[in-house]
Amino acid sequence: MIHKYIAALPEASLIIGLIVMALVNLFRKTNTPKTFYTLSKFFLAFSLLTTVLFYNRSWLPQFLENNPYTSLFKIIICIFTLTWAYLSCKWFLNKNYPSWSFYSLMLLEVLLLSLAVSSLNFVVLVIALQGAFLLNWCLIRLGDDEEKKKLGASRRFLCFALLFAALSAAGAVLLLARAGSLDYEAVYKHFSHVSKLMPVDYTAAAMMILPLLFMLGLVPFHFWYIDVIGVAVLPVGGFLTIVPLFAYVACLADIVLNAFFPVWPVFKPVLIVFGLLSVGFGVVGANSETNMRRLFGFSTLYHLGVIVLSLAAFDDNSILSGFVYMLVYVLAMSGIYTSFLGMRSKGVYLSELESVSGLSAVRPYIAAGFLVFLISLISTPPLLGFLGKLSVVNNLVIQGEYTVMLFILLAVLMLVYAYLNVIKALYFDARINTFDRVDKGVYICLTVNLILVLISILNPKYLMNDVEAMLVTIF
């Protein structure tokens, strides 16, 4: 009996972690920002360890399944959460701001995302995923500056998140009505066996897929992300950019392949249109921004667009290329956010382009790291980003999607223009600000990230080894 439920340890450790953190928050008076980081770190690490150990064991096989595919995503989610938790601690320490809310919400969100990734049933998926997504509302509200903009953005976020959650729930009800079950397998059978599908079938599928696209922040559902990224505090912005993406993509691939694949030819153009729009809006938007966080928010749209365009075919090559691109993108983005933590002047974290002018002269290492990740984001060899571009473009050529490929490749030129403005500010412009000392932790994380980037490009087999084999278990 015990051995059956031992596979629940990753989730259990997160739940226990949450309880412990709540108790500590309630009964311990001398908590520092580091307290909750230490606790969350411990439980996250334990969760990570157990996820690795029980990578193919499921404790609730009817609803949740662990296989190499899901475990891969869960491991990555845990690793990036751990890293970001460590870096966020620097922010909380610097601001001397209570970290309980952030770390507890983060742990809870990881738990829900982990459940969503493993789910085999739409009920679990909707609850876990929508729950995790709604948690973001709490995260967005974190911080002591209750300014009007932030309130407006969080309200809009909540309203539309609820709308899409409702849509998702309605979709689940429709699916249940049509397929008689909410298991992925049953839905798949329904769509593949019914000779003539009704509009309601398509509506149900759309109601399940669109909320995922909304969560991903694909254009035209991107507005929440751009709004939020501009107003949320740095730890939250970083977390939202880096962590949930893996879960959303994993879930999207999972439901498309295991539930909606028979109707996917109908929905594929939707994803392609959204992808193209994301690419286009992303590059134009990035050029309209002088706020770096929003600039990278728009650039995220471009990268998301590329990921979904690559995934659109949902075959083994697409999954692999999408995954590689996503991993590379997230690595670079985490580097960028790490660098943001090093851009501080008189205790204030800088985000305007003008304010970081001439950073390279005083903080050359931070500037160099930023440069490396920027170049990686535009996929220029020999940096890691190239690997992602190569995978995606190679996949698109195999699919015969030459136009899409050219669009992606040419759009990057416009994105580059925006990035060049950042490089200009960091390297070519004269300094106008004084910059605070950078925490050692930031340097450590940057170095680790850079080493990872270096090793990965010199010998990508390290990075890619077994990933392909793990990814194909989704089929």
Partner 1 sequence: MIANLFFCLIASGFVAGAAARSRYERLWSFLLLAFLAFSGFYFWENWQQGITGNFAFHWIDASLMQVNINLASNTDTYRLTAPLFLLAGISVFYNTFYPAETEKLRLNGLLLLNLAALILLICAQNFMQLLTAVCIADVLCLFMINDIEGKRRYIFYNLLADMGLFTLFALIWKQTGSVDLAALSGYRRLGQYPELSVCLILFCAFIKSGMFLFQGGFLSLSGLSFNRIFSISYGATPLVGILLLIKTYPLLAGVSYASATLQLFGALTLLWGFFGAVVIDNLKDKALYFNLMFYALMIGLLSLGLKPIMQILPELLILGYMLNLLWMMVAVSASNEIFVSNMGSFARPLKAVFSLALLLILGLIQFLWKSAPLAEIWIYAFGAIILMACAHILYQIFLGKTNADEHVWAFLKNPPLLYLLPYAAAAAFVIWKNDCYDWMVGGIYALFLVVLFLGPLRSLGRLYEAETLQEADWFDDIYETLLVAPVKILGRILWLTIDFLIIERTIVSSLSGATTLLVRLLEKMHTGTWTGSLLYVSAGLMITAAVVYMKVRG
Partner 2 sequence: MTSSFNFVSTIIAVPFIGLLFALAAKDDEKTRDRNVFNVSIFALITNLFVIWRMFALLDVSKPGLQMVERYEWLENPKISIVLGMDVFSLLLILAVHAAVLIGMFGARHNKEDGKSLMVFSLMFVGMITGFFAAADIFSFYIFFEAMLLPLFMIIGMFGGIRKQGVLARFFIYNLLGAIFLFFATVVLYNYQSANIALNEVSRVDLNIRQEIFVWAAIFISFLSRIPIWPFHYWISSISTGLRNPLVFIITNIIPLTGVYGFVRFWPKTVPGVLSYFMIILEIICVISMVFIALIGLINKDIQYKIFSFMTVGYIIYLLAAFLPTDMVLQNIGYSLFSFLIIAAGLEVLSNYLEKQQECMEISSAGILCALPRASLIFSFFVLAAIGMPLSSMFLNNFVLVADLLDKNVKMGSLVVFSLIVIAAALLQELYRLKDNTCVLPEKPCAADISARAYGVLLLICGFLLLTFVNPLWFVVRGGKL
Question: What is the contact surface with partner 2 in residues (CB under 8 A)?
Answer: 320, 360-361, 371, 375, 378, 380-382, 386-387, 389-391, 393-394, 397-398, 402, 405-406, 409-410, 412-413, 416-417, 420-421, 423-424, 427-428, 459-461, 464, 468
**Cα separation values, 157 from 61, 115, 125, 136, 228, Å:** 34, 23, 20, 9, 8
Task: For residue 296, state whether it binds partner 1 (rule: CB under 8 A).
Answer: no
- Least separation in angstroms between CB 408 and partner 1: 17
Report in angstroms how near the CB of residue 191 gets to partner 1 at its nearest.
Answer: 13
| Closer to partner 2 by Cβ: residue 207 or 319 | 319
Distance CA 243, CA 354 (A): 29
User: Could you give the 3-state DSSP secondary structure of residue 315?
Assistant: coil
Q: Where are the alpha helices (DSSP H) in 289-401?
A: 292-311, 316-342, 359-362, 364-377, 385-399
Residue 436 binds which entry of partner 1, partner 2, none, CB below 5-8 Å type-dependent: none
3 state DSSP class of 345: strand
Tell me how far, at minimum, the Cβ of 56 lies from partner 1, in Å: 36
Cα 33 to Cα 265: distance, rounded to the nearest angstrom = 49
Q: Which residues inside 195-234 make contact with partner 1, applying CB under 8 A?
A: 199, 202, 206, 210, 213-214, 219-224, 226-227, 230
**Residue 408 and residue 125: Cα distance in Å, rounded?**
31
Q: Which does 284 bind (CB under 5 to 8 A by kind): partner 2, partner 1, none?
A: partner 1
- Per CB under 8 A, does 149 bind partner 1? yes
Spell out, one character per residue from 404 to 433, where the chain touches partner 1: x when CB under 8 A holds, - when not.
----------x--x----------------
Coil/strand/helix, residue 186: helix
Considering only the stretches 106-114, 132-140, 187-195, 278-286, report the one whose residues sit in contact with partner 1 under the rule CB under 8 A.
278-286
The residue among 142 and 331 lying less far from partner 2, judged by its C-beta, is: 331
Smallest separation (angstroms) from partner 1 to the CB of 199: 8
The entry of partner 2, partner 1, none near residue 444 (CB within 5 to 8 angstroms by kind) is: none
* Smallest gap from residue 253 Cβ to partner 1 (A): 19
Q: From residue 158, how far is each of 59, 79, 105, 162, 168 by CA, in Å?
A: 33, 28, 16, 6, 15
Of 157 and 373, nearer to partner 1 (C-beta) is 157
Smallest distance, partner 2 to C-beta of residue 367, A = 10
Please say which residue, 241 or 456, places its beta carbon nearer to partner 2.
456
- The interface partner of residue 137, options being partner 2, partner 1, none and the CB cut-off 5 to 8 Å by kind, is none
Q: Which is nearer to partner 1, 108 or 415 (CB)?
A: 415
- Is residue 2 exposed (0-12), middle (13-18) or buried (19+ Cβ within 10 Å)? exposed
- Among 153, 179, 208, 377, which residue interacts with partner 1 (rule: CB under 8 A)? 153
If DSSP codes are grouped into helix, strand and coil, which group holds residue 115?
A: helix
Taking a C-beta distance cutoff of 8 angstroms, is the pair 11, 115 a contact?
yes
> Which DSSP string do the residues of 121-148 spell out, in sequence order?
BHHHHHHHHHHHHHHHHHHHT-SS---H
Contact with partner 1 (CB under 8 A) among 265, 347, 430, 434? 265
- Select the binding partner of residue 180 from partner 2, partner 1, none (C-beta < 5 to 8 A, by kind): none
Q: How far is the CB of 326 from partner 1 (least distance, A)?
A: 22
At position 428, the amino acid (one-letter code) is F
| 400 near partner 1, rule: CB under 8 A | no
CA nearest neighbour of 438 among 362, 372, 381: 362
Give the three-class secondary structure for 212.
Answer: helix
Nearer to partner 2, 65 or 429 (CB): 429
Length of the chain: 475
State the binding partner of 210 from partner 1, partner 2, none, CB within 5 to 8 A by kind: partner 1
Q: Of 151 and 362, which has the nearer Cβ to partner 1?
A: 151
d(CA 385, CA 389): 6
Contact between 362 and 433 (Cβ < 8 Å): no
Of these partners, partner 2, partner 1, none, which one is at the site of residue 222 (CB under 5 to 8 Å by kind)?
Answer: partner 1
Residue 7 contacts which entry, partner 1, partner 2, none (Cβ below 5-8 A, type-dependent): none
The candidate with the shortest Cα–Cα distance to 229, out of 163, 310, 304, is 304
Tell me the Cα Rg of the chain: 22
CB 116 within 8 A of CB 251: yes
Place of tokens 């910059």: 435
For residues 261-278, b (16+ Cβ closer than 10 Å) or e, as one string?
A: bbbbeebeeebbebbbbb
Instruction: List contacts with partner 1 (CB under 8 A).
Output: 149, 152-153, 156, 160, 163, 199, 202, 206, 210, 213-214, 219-224, 226-227, 230, 265-267, 269-270, 273-274, 281, 284-285, 287-288, 414, 417
